[in-house]
Amino acid sequence: MNSKLIGSLKLLAALAVAAFLAFMAVVGFGENKAFSASAIKQGLDLAGGVSITYEAVEDAPTDEEMNDAIYKLQLRADAYSTEANVYKEGTRRITVEIPGVDDAETILTDLGNPGALYFVYGTGNIKYDTANKKYLLAKTIDELKAEGQIVLNGNDISDAKAGTQEVQSFVGGRDIVVQLFLNENGSEKFAEATAKSIGQQIAIIYDNEIISAPNVNSAITGGSAVITGMKDIEEAEKLAATIRIGALPLELKEVRSNVVGAQLGQDAIRSSLIAGAVGFICLILFMICYYRVPGVAASIALVIYVGLMVFFLNAFNATLTLQGIAGIILSIGMAVDANVIIFQRMREELGKGLTVRSAMKNGFKKAFSAIFDGNVTTLIAALVLFIMAAGGVKGFATTLAIGIVLSMFTALVVTKFILRALYEIGLSNEKLYGIAKERKSIAFVKNSPKFAALSGILITAGIVAMIVFGVKDGKPLNYGLEFSGGTSLSVTFSDKYSESMNKELENLVSDTISKTSQITKVSGENTYIIKTMEIDKDQRAQVVNALVDKYNVDESLIETENISGSVSYEMRRHAIIAVIVAVICMLIYIWFRFKNFNFAGSSVIALVHDVLVVLMLYAVVRISVGNSFIACMLTIVGYSINATIVIFDRIRENMAEKRKKETVAEIVDRSVTQTLSRSINTSLTTFVMVLSLVIFGVDAIREFAFPLMFGIIAGAYSSVCITGPLWHLMETRLVKHSEE
């Protein structure tokens, strides 16, 4: 079989796979369109979900108790969706919003009604009902509290999980158990209680009912305990879930549960998909026009990448929000980066006089380290964020990790396979691949003071703006609903209205009090929930009067409450800690791979630079800081570190092949110049994808895309103008290495 026939078969196979994945992503399989883009679970903003409101039984719960309850409920809601929201209403209520589901009763059953949880001494406090075969309380909870019979309460429990453990008396046998985890305070109390209760029972009481009464076999001092005696895994799961539900600082009761409609509706999805299609077409046209045959290979590989992305989002049951759609569209732009690195390397090899086959082989070989290190560094950050963060940050990390792995696979395996097939069918003329010419090095190191001055001006402008607005308004940044909370109005209309009401109500609020708002409809009812930034009594009255005048609403059917931000203090703290840990892990990895701390240190400084520059934009332009802010900053972190490593990889390579009498500064200038086309092209392709979001997207997505465009420019600028000269400074001055 000749090579031309083999190449044709390879190309047909690649095109068939691309067509199949494209069909699957658009059409899917079966009545439910399984594994299609439309089958991906959608967030509250796109598809609606369930909203459940709880109220504290206690009359005056403290802020600490409420915040702790919100955080723990958020962790439980994350089991249903990483895009779930939990926030405070008024002083005693907590609302849980879970996207992608439409059965409030099922969620209530699974999530439970968070009642009070107590562990009490069994002797004299419980009795066995032989008729019903269950334990009952012999005293009231108040009596047990007064007598000091309470061992633990919900505040002392950190977690409970169902599982199995080996049976010591039977080799290979396993018991079904519930493992209980205690916090520091609970560990001390439980150790003391179990030490004096050996051979007796400790009853677990939830919502005034005994759910388990295990025997104490020994003093438990390690901060964890195992409850045995489960008949099956379902019973263990139920007990563990009940303990987790009860492990709250407050007893809560359900006051309402609704199925709510999408906040943004189909228009947002439609415009986002149009933006993605336009950006994708522009991206493919650029790749083919600039890189010719390799561009064709990359375009087919990108179709496969998108199809695989849709497949794995379905497979991992990821929840997709509007920002998630933007993130995927952005990832398409970033996925081309590895291809650009390879193709630029191929052009350089052709410029040295190598044949197309040899240039292809060397291009993939020499590009591998930059692609591998850049993607693994970002993947480390994604894994840390997934493990340590909560809420939307965890969802972002999932999408990022999937995108990184798939982009490496498509670039290093799929693109290589298709490119070889194109070569084998006869597209072997070097003019079809492009030849890079040696260009004169640009003096980046010499001009580093100018670059540093520009960065200093931009960052200082952000600091000044934050100080000025902090003094003037008390808000250094323009915090949105998700961060600062606001006011919620529940409005029941006498007549039925269509989904277009969402936009009408947004305009009404904006025209009446100049505030932005989020609108959701309660499914099955003629009720809309309007969330807006915090408004005073006069502004509330203006909105209520406008609703009465325009829609003849019964004023008594309008309920108003102050609500907290859905991004709680605990979530923000965990996100910040996760980002710090991720940066440290990236620093360690770069240090290990490059065997030079200066590479790691300068890359992290450049990363901080990019974040501060984008923060300046938020401060000066007063862009709303909400969930999209977190996604934007995290995307810039990943984008920045990836671009920097490509340049550092070239510096490392050129340092190992140092020319005679070439200084470190000249190596830096040569390395940055050699990778300049890659830096420009990658930034341009990503910029085009995001620009399409700004042009065709709805307001909510523009709020995400506009600062991201600025971040792409900042990342390209810092990678080209800051990182190389900064590494040179650290390498030659701070550690006093010679320039020679």
- Domain match, 59 and 207 both: no
**Band of the pLDDT at 169, cuts 50, 70, 90?**
very low
- Domain match, 665 and 603 both: yes
- Domain match, 331 and 403 both: yes
Last residue of a domain, one of 247, 265, 288: 247
Element of type H or E holding 209: strand 209-212
- Domain match, 154 and 232 both: yes
- Domain match, 420 and 520 both: no
Does 620 fall in a domain? yes
Element of type H or E holding 284: helix 266-291
Does 544 fall in a domain? yes
**Band of the pLDDT at 665, cuts 50, 70, 90?**
very high
The three-class DSSP label of residue 537 is helix
Winning range, highest mean pLDDT, from 143-157, 382-396, 585-599: 585-599
> 109-129 burial, b for 16+ CB within 10 Å, e for fewer?
eebbbbbbbbbbbbeebbeee
Q: What span, in angstroms and rounded, lies between the C-alpha atoms of 547 and 665?
A: 67
SS (H, E, C) 621-681: HCCCECHHHHHHHHHHHHHHHHHHHHHHHHHHHHHHCCCCCCCHHHHHHHHHHHCHHHHHH
Domain count, the chain: 5
Q: Which two tokens stand for residue 32?
A: 């439910």
Q: How confident is the model at residue 170, as a pLDDT?
A: 47
- Domain match, 178 and 56 both: no
**Band of the pLDDT at 92, cuts 50, 70, 90?**
confident
Residue 515 one-letter amino acid: K
CATH classification of the domain holding 138: 3.30.1360.200
Q: How confident is the model at residue 266, as a pLDDT?
A: 61
- Domain match, 368 and 293 both: yes
Q: CA nearest 575: which of 184, 161, 82, 158?
A: 82
- Domain match, 87 and 166 both: no
CATH classification of the domain holding 339: 1.20.1640.10
Q: Which domain holds residue 510?
A: 486-563
Element of type H or E holding 203: strand 202-206
Least confident of 302-306, 324-328, 342-346, 596-600: 324-328
| pLDDT tens for each residue of 280-321 | 888 899 999 999 999 999 999 999 999 999 999 888 877 777
Does 60 fall in a domain? yes
- Domain match, 454 and 598 both: yes
Q: What span, in angstroms and rounded, lies between the C-alpha atoms of 11 and 407?
A: 20
CATH classification of the domain holding 537: 3.30.70.100
- Domain match, 134 and 99 both: no
Does 469 fall in a domain? no
- Domain match, 215 and 322 both: no
Q: How confident is the model at residue 300, as a pLDDT?
A: 95
The two beta strands, 41-42 and 319-320, are: parallel
For residue 117, the 8-state DSSP code is E
CATH classification of the domain holding 99: 3.30.70.3400
Residues 618-628: what's their mean pLDDT? 84
Residue 267, pLDDT > 70, answer: no
Q: Which two tokens stand for residue 625?
A: 């800081």
Does 401 fall in a domain? yes
Residue 512, pLDDT > 60, answer: yes
Does 208 fall in a domain? yes
Does 667 fall in a domain? yes
Does 740 fall in a domain? no
Residue 737, pLDDT > 60, answer: no
- The answer to whether the beta carbons of residues 55 and 90 sit under 8 Å apart is no
- The answer to whether the beta carbons of residues 540 and 562 sit under 8 Å apart is no
- Domain match, 68 and 36 both: no
